[in-house]
């Protein structure tokens, strides 16, 4: 069985360990992708910290791009050498969720303990989020990848796999923002910046970014925010409403912080929607007044991975990037090696990084 380098989590909250692990060949409709880049998402950090539980030892990482180097016997529509974006969206295509157009909610279970990874002694190694992309290679289902042109930079392409589709998709697919509407985005991190880009692309009238850090708000303007509000002000929702002249048509919470969720309804206008994107740790709760939501016809919607259909939405986003209408290169804060992954994670935890990307040098 081939051996690859991977960053393994043996203990929640402890540094990842760079070591040799085994990766079996693709079977059925699986493919092997040799990775050129994998970005660090806050979801990876939450899992590795134990915030959502899970099986150990594990390999995290789910925002990746690379080239197909092996095909399972039943893999269709792809060829050796194809450049692809690798996502965690493992869709069977035939369950009720997939058949109704919501593949991100595929009903077919996947047990990462029984995936393609194992320790060199043959013991269990969990393939987290159906990817395990903090590694030189991955074996995933063909349904999890989207072919892209070979000249698209892989570091930029990797961002599309999660942060970009989650932010833009939350605006376009979940909130269904149309031209002239007003949007508030709480959190100007990686996902928040993409929600801002999505609102700009959708033609929103006012796009108000809310964050605790002035530096992040400056960056938000570069990605399309028309206005900014400092979350530490006495009443940031009143500041935002004064800017818009009314409550927002949609408020997107892109951070996994319960105080942000608690404040979010205050920004809404009549008929407005609260889009829940950021994921707090399991067990954290927020109280809401249901009478207000009922009286003003407001809604609360959870958005997983931007409710995307990857074969439809990723090619569209890649084309926007080619046109210069979608910023990807500007999202990258730093480029690191796999051996530097713990440093890159710590840098991401500071909140100052938009996206840190791990690059692989295959010397080919």
**C-alpha dihedral (107, 111, 115, 119), degrees to nearest 10:** 160
Place of tokens 């992708």: 33
Read off the pLDDT of residues 14-28 as tens digits, 9 standing for 90 and up.
999 999 999 999 999
Place of tokens 């990775």: 35
Q: Where do the DSSP E strands lie in 50-89? A: 58-59, 63-71, 83-86
Contact predicate 145/207, CB 8 Å: no
Residue 178: alpha-carbon gap to chain centroid: 23
pLDDT of residue 1 exceeding 80, the answer is no
Sequence-distant (≥ 6) Cβ neighbours of residue 235 within 8 angstroms: none
DSSP state of 281: P
3-class state of residue 157 by DSSP: helix
If you count them, how many residues does the chain have? 364
Residue 199: what pLDDT? 98
Residue 352: what pLDDT? 77
Classified by CATH at the fold level, domain 3-162+307-359 comes out as Quinone Oxidoreductase; Chain A, domain 1 (3.90.180)
CB atoms within 10 A of CB 363: 3
3-class state of residue 102 by DSSP: coil
User: How sure is the predictor about 362, in pLDDT bands with cuts at 50, 70 and 90?
Assistant: confident
Instruction: Measure the CA–CA gap between 55 and 183, rounded to whole angstroms.
Output: 38
The sheet that has 268-276: what strands, in order across it?
Answer: 227-230, 206-211, 182-186, 248-253, 268-276, 299-302
Sequence-distant (≥ 6) Cβ neighbours of residue 195 within 8 angstroms: 167, 168, 170, 171, 183, 185, 252, 254, 277
Domain ranges in the chain with CATH number 3.40.50.720: 176-302
Q: Is the dihedral of CA 99, 104, 61, 332 positive or negative?
A: positive
pLDDT of residue 364 exceeding 60, the answer is no
Read off the pLDDT of residues 54-91 as tens digits, 9 standing for 90 and up.
999 999 999 999 999 999 999 999 999 999 999 999 99
Percent of the chain having pLDDT more than 90? 94
- 270: nearest Cα among 242, 307, 241, 243: 241
Section 39-43 average pLDDT: 93
Classified by CATH at the fold level, domain 176-302 comes out as Rossmann fold (3.40.50)
Section 204-232 average pLDDT: 97
Read off the pLDDT of residues 262-273 as tens digits, 9 standing for 90 and up.
999 999 999 999
Instruction: Measure the CA–CA gap between 153 and 151, rounded to whole angstroms.
Output: 6
pLDDT of residue 294 exceeding 60, the answer is yes
Read off the pLDDT of residues 133-146 as tens digits, 9 standing for 90 and up.
999 999 999 999 99
Domain ranges in the chain with CATH number 3.90.180.10: 3-162+307-359
CB atoms within 10 A of CB 288: 13
pLDDT of residue 39 exceeding 60, the answer is yes
Cα-Cα end-to-end distance for the chain? 22
Read off the pLDDT of residues 301-349 as tens digits, 9 standing for 90 and up.
999 999 999 999 999 999 999 999 999 999 999 999 999 999 999 999 8
Read off the pLDDT of residues 87-120 as tens digits, 9 standing for 90 and up.
999 999 999 999 999 999 999 999 999 999 999 9
pLDDT of residue 237 exceeding 70, the answer is yes
Section 275-301 average pLDDT: 94
pTM over 0.75: yes
User: How sure is the predictor about 363, in pLDDT bands with cuts at 50, 70 and 90?
Assistant: low
Instruction: Measure the CA–CA gap between 231 and 240, rounded to whole angstroms.
Output: 10
Indicate the average pLDDT of the chain.
96
What token pair was written down for 135? 């590694």
pLDDT of residue 354 exceeding 90, the answer is no
DSSP state of 140: E
Read off the pLDDT of residues 153-168 as tens digits, 9 standing for 90 and up.
999 999 999 999 999 9
Q: Where do the DSSP E strands lie in 187-344? A: 206-211, 227-230, 248-253, 268-276, 299-302, 332-336
Residue 157: alpha-carbon gap to chain centroid: 12
- 143: nearest Cα among 180, 213, 189, 95: 95
């Amino acid at each position: 069985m081939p051996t690859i380098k991977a960053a393994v989590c043996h203990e929640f909250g402890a540094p990842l360990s760079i070591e040799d692990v085994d990766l079996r060949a693709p079977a059925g409709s699986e493919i092997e992708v040799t990775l050129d880049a994998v970005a660090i998402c806050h979801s990876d950090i939450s899992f590795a910290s134990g915030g959502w539980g899970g099986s150990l030892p594990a390999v995290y990482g789910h925002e990746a791009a690379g080239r197909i180097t092996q095909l399972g016997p039943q893999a269709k529509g792809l060829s050796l050498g194809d450049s692809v974006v690798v996502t965690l969206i493992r869709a069977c295509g035939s369950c009720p969720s997939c058949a109704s157009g919501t593949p991100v909610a595929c009903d077919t279970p996947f047990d990462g303990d029984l995936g393609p990874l194992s320790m060199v002694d043959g013991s269990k190694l969990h393939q987290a989020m159906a990817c395990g992309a903090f590694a030189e290679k991955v074996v995933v289902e063909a349904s999890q990848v989207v072919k892209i042109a070979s000249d698209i930079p892989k570091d930029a392409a990797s961002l599309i796999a999660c942060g970009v589709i989650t932010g833009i998709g939350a605006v376009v697919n979940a909130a269904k923002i149309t031209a002239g509407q007003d949007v508030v985005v709480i959190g100007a991190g990686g996902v928040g910046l993409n929600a801002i880009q999505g609102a700009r692309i959708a033609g929103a009238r006012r796009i108000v970014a809310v964050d605790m850090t002035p530096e992040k708000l400056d960056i938000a303007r570069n990605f399309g925010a028309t206005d900014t509000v400092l979350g530490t002000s006495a009443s940031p929702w009143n500041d935002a409403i004064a800017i818009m002249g009314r409550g927002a048509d949609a408020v997107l919470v892109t951070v996994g912080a319960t105080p942000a969720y608690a404040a979010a309804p205050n920004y809404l206008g009549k008929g407005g929607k609260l889009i829940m994107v950021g994921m707090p740790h399991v067990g954290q709760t927020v109280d809401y007044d249901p009478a207000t939501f009922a009286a003003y016809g407001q809604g609360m919607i959870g958005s997983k991975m931007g409710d995307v259909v990857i074969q439809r939405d990723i090619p569209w986003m890649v084309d926007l990037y080619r046109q210069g209408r979608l910023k990807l290169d500007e999202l990258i804060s730093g480029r690191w090696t796999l051996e530097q992954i713990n440093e890159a994670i710590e840098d991401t935890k500071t909140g100052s990084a938009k996206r840190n990307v791990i690059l692989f040098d295959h010397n080919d």
